[in-house]
Structure 1
Amino acid sequence: MRHPIRRAKTYYNNMMLQTKFTITHLLITTIPMLVMFLFFYGKLYNMVLAYTVRSEQTASAMTIPQIDLLIDTILTAQKDLEGHPYYRKLFHSRDYRTADPLTDSADAIDFCRLAEKTIDGEYITDIRIYMDLPNSQPIFYKKDTRRIFRPMSEARGAYWHGIFQGNRSYSSLFCPEFYLSPIEVKESGDMAFITKASIPYNEDLRTCYIAIYYSKAPFTSLLKNNLSRDTSVAYIINDRDSTVATSNHGLAGIYHFSYGKVRDYFMSSDNFIMKKILGEDVYAGFYHIQKTNWFMVAVIPTKSIIQKSVLIVIGFFFIYLICIITAFLIATKLSHSITNRISSVILQMSRVRSGPPTPLPDSVYHDEIGGLIDTYNYMTRAMNQLIAEQNKAAEDLRLAEFHTLQAQINPHFLYNTMDMINWLAKQGRTDEVSEAIVDLSRFYKLTLSRKETLSTIADELEHANIYVRLQNMRYHQVIDLVNDMPDYMMDCTIPKLTFQPVVENAILHGLLEKIPKGGTIVITGWLEENAAVILISDDGVGIPEDKLSGLLSGKGTSKTGTNIAVFNTHRRLQILYGPEYGLTYNSVPGKGTEVELRVRTAVIP
């Protein structure tokens, strides 16, 4: 047995170097990939299935809030119309017996202008009010009102009108396209939200319908974007088992779930579940759309997942073939590089004069050249390790000081806030306690939501707003916070908890020391070359000159209170950006204080 092994070893050692490199690299490339393929092949389908379902769940969870936002836009438009004086006078007043006196009123014209302004032409496409009044009414042909107010005869042929007539309990209705008449779809829009109202006329109540027409295109676009493949489908149905919108009409008909089943499935599970439709297994997810009687259904046929698994296997083989060809080319190139190895070592060593040493690729062979490369690489790694350890020690020291300073601020704010909540609780003001806890929870959620130590100016402004709301609960709404920050600065980065200590100091040592207590804090900012400048000003009692000089130097600053928080904030900015950045205080006793925060300009991508 030893002789065949010895002969094979001798035969291999006698091969040309190019042949050795080719065989070695092909084996190194082929064997691990082949083992990996055999190991994962049996689990491939389950992996693709889990990934696909998880992707659809994530996409659906992101789609539903956007659909809710579209619905809120319609409901907001309806509330804006209902809030107009003319609307209230027309549909809620019982002080007149005929609608004629209102048709020429300035309120009617202003109401029509509000309706026209609400129509954006892209989503909200039209607004009409159908009134069961004689067609001779001036409101139907006057130039300023005929665009909005229409006779009931124009609505009687629509399916939605029949629904209202058949069920008197309906007060509002979200209408898909086929609920509308062809004329409505052509002239007004392909979907509508219709509410029912009544108007007194000749000692009688006449029915009116307020119709807000809107486009189905945003819903269709959201449903299509919700899908990761063409073989899946997403659609919306209402309680009359009608399809409101869909990403694919054909697939929505094939994979249709009745409204009753969708509602039952939604109540029983909030994840994708496997169901069988027409003998085919599918994964389906069900989501309720708030403020409507709609459900969104997302369906993934299992056959599409199988097809994807097959495509992955085919792709794997193509990648495998490319790797083999690449390995062959690399082996061929390496055979021609032997004579260049010594020159490479000399060139690499000469570069140490102008920068840190860079290691060479490890040598496969243990000859003299290989020993030289190994020795050089060992020396290079040792030197680079020492450099890296020195740099890391300096960076760790800088970050340690930064985090220590920041940790001194967070407990400070928490202590003050919890003290205020305790004070409210002792007074039995439970609603305000709940509001304070919600604000405090939101504050720390924003603060701890990222691992990074930086935030945006927009988030810092929200921190400050939360803090002021909490203080106003305690001091009876005597503090006004005015945000005058330009929109283009909202995404600039800034260390977390930068604004709040300054605002806290302004309140406790500025506004609350006035008689009577209270005042205004204004936050604004601007951009300069390589710097963002934020100005926080108040109209409090100001800071005496002797205290102002030691506020940012740390001299005479106690280890507790807002002074140490301000000093720490100043130190954090200097540690992060340099000594030319940080806080600058300007104060006039009796008139107020201005605090200028200067940081390096940056925007979170």
Structure 2
Amino acid sequence: MRQIIGKSIQIRLTLYFLLILIPLVAVSLLGNYRSQAILDQEVGERAQSALLSSIEYIDLIVQNLDELSAIISTEQSFIDTLRDVNQNLTSQNIYDFRTMLQSISAMTAVNHSIVQTNIFHGYTGTMISNPNGISKLENYEQEEWFKQAIRANGRSIIYLPPSANNYDKEQLDSTWNPDNLYIIRLMDLYSFQRDPNLVIISIKKETLLNIIRHLAPSKRTNVYLMKDDQLVVSTLPGQVGVPVWLGGEKNISVQNNMNTKEKTIMIRASSKVSGWSIIQEQPEKEIRGPIQQIQKFTYLIIAISVLLALWISLIVYGSISIPLKKLAAAMKQFSLGNLTVRLQHKQSDEFGYLMNSFNKMTSEHKRLIEDGYEKQLGLVKAEFRLLQSQINPHFLYNTLDCIYTVAVEHEVEEISEMVLHLSQFFRVSLGKGRDKYTLAETVDHLMHYIKVQKIRLMHHFSVHVYLAEASKSVPLLKLLLQPLVENAIVHGLEKRSAGNGMLFIRSEIDGDMLIIRVEDNGVGIQEDRLNYIHNVLSEIQLNNFHNIQLNKEPVPTGNLFGLVNVKSRLKLYYGELADLIIESEPNKGTVSTVRIPLNHDRKDNIDETIDR
């Protein structure tokens, strides 16, 4: 990262502009954070104060009920009435129970929040209720309310019936109503040997719900009343579970709602004396809505400031970095061999002067390379002509004619036929009239050379020619295919131990390309030798012409001259798309493929390039 910043002036200057904005951004974010904290604190304190007032009121109601249950449990007449009851109820016991219920009704009539008051006789399992009369309960010893009351040993407990239990519907509605809250205490409060008789006072949960309902400032706010972490009542209809508090010891917590997953602010108020607690859950948007608008506006200002800093840096320093990048890109293209690259610009400043100098340098460099290229071509052509001039065609033809005449007179047909074909081959090869022949003429000319080789090898192989009709009239450089045919015969078919050697010459038109293949089923080329041939041929490229081995220096191996000659001439005459491909498998044969573009943009004759 440090190296990237050090290499780019544009990045450094942009970073400097952004650094100027850091104090503004820091102050803005700090202001948002502090305003949000102050708002949360004020809302929390105000809401918690209201929650504590409601907790105190609920404590007062429960305390009055607790005191009333204590009065009933210490009434000696009630205690004596319950003690006089044996295992079986008599008519007198029932009468006494009714008398006791009338007295209890008179005592609880002053408290309008009480739904009903029950007396439970433990030895007989009899529930005595002022609205429902007398009923029997089975297996009460296993019920949770009975166990809790016995364990409390005279202290009052608060019992919340579950929404469903093992009771039938009638028993559920008359004794333990899930919509009620029950305060239960043992009778005979001041005795150390208490009988399992209970006083049970119930109030409706709706009474408590009315107390906390006004604590919800909106319809989306939920308020939960709990006793010892057990949900008593909630303003959310159908709420069963207890909200999970993630705020630890704090009284304000920001967390997601367990049902809607919406982010909410939860405020808690608890009574350390009674164990009652109230949790208010309100969507964050309702509380922080106004301040969030200010925060969004602040973030927008920060974003605009950053964009302005970037825009200014681009305007101020773009005139420096952009010309430098253009010049660097042009220099890279020039180093890769693109000699035609030029910088188009309308600048008249120092960068304009620098770009004009670069354009002049590339033009001059291109001219010098072209001059050297033409001199190299002239040297190649001059050496080739010198080689031709070293052979006296007239003397060679006369000598071959004499040999042919002697061979005929002595009836040596093989020698006469070889001389005849060799004479025809040299007349075309050494002739100075034409440098190009059609593909059909080239193959006819090659057949003279092939027949000489067949006679020499005692017809060790056969020749098969398949030329596409459209390819026969395509002009081809003289002697372009002869080295390939020679390699196929000398290095492939001649070394074949068994007979039935075959030489194939094929041609086809593939799009804008002429494809010529010279194939044999000879001994092939070993893999390491084939890799070496590929490496040598791959170095022959038009844009790297000094590597073409058409000069006085010999090929390192001494026997790749023909292949190098063919590919070099292809590149020189037909352009970069022309190519020579050698494929071979040991003991299976070799395929030499020549690819020539039909619409090449180079000059048709190298003489025109050299002589102009």
Pick the TM interval, shorter chain. Answer: 0.3 to 0.5
In the superposition, the TM-score normalised over structure 1's length comes to 0.34
In the superposition, the TM-score normalised over structure 2's length comes to 0.34
